[in-house]
Amino acid sequence: MCLGVPMKIVSKDGDTVIAEVDGVQKEASVMLLGEEVTVGDYVIVHAGFAISRLDEEYAEETIRLMREVFSEEDMA
C-alpha cells in the first residue's frame, strides 16, 4: 500500500528537501508544489515528491492518528 505521509522538512537545497517523521528521513522533490516551503514546514510526501504543504497542527494530529492505526513497520 502506498500512502502520502506528513513529514517535517529538516533541510532544503533548491527543489530538494530532506523530510523526517519518527526519525526516518526521506529525500523529496518540491517541484510539484505551487508554493514556497522552508525548513520546519510540514508536507505530504508520496513517491519521492512533496505533494502538499500542511498546517503544523493538522500534520501533527495526522501523524498521531497514523501511529495509532499502523504498526512501526508500516510507517517506515
| pTM of the predicted structure, to 2 decimals | 0.85
Q: What are phi and psi of 49, to 5 degrees?
A: -125, 140
Average pLDDT, the chain: 91
CATH at 52: 2.30.30.140
For residue 29, give the C-alpha cell: 522533490
Q: How many domains does the chain have?
A: 1
Sign of CA dihedral 62, 63, 64, 66: positive
pLDDT for 25 beyond 80: yes
pLDDT in tens, 37-56: 999 999 999 999 999 999 99
pLDDT for 72 beyond 70: no
For residue 42, count CB atoms less than 10 angstroms from its CB and return exposed for 0-12, middle for 13-18, buried for 19 or more.
buried
For residue 7, count CB atoms less than 10 angstroms from its CB and return exposed for 0-12, middle for 13-18, buried for 19 or more.
buried
Q: Which domain holds residue 46?
A: 5-75
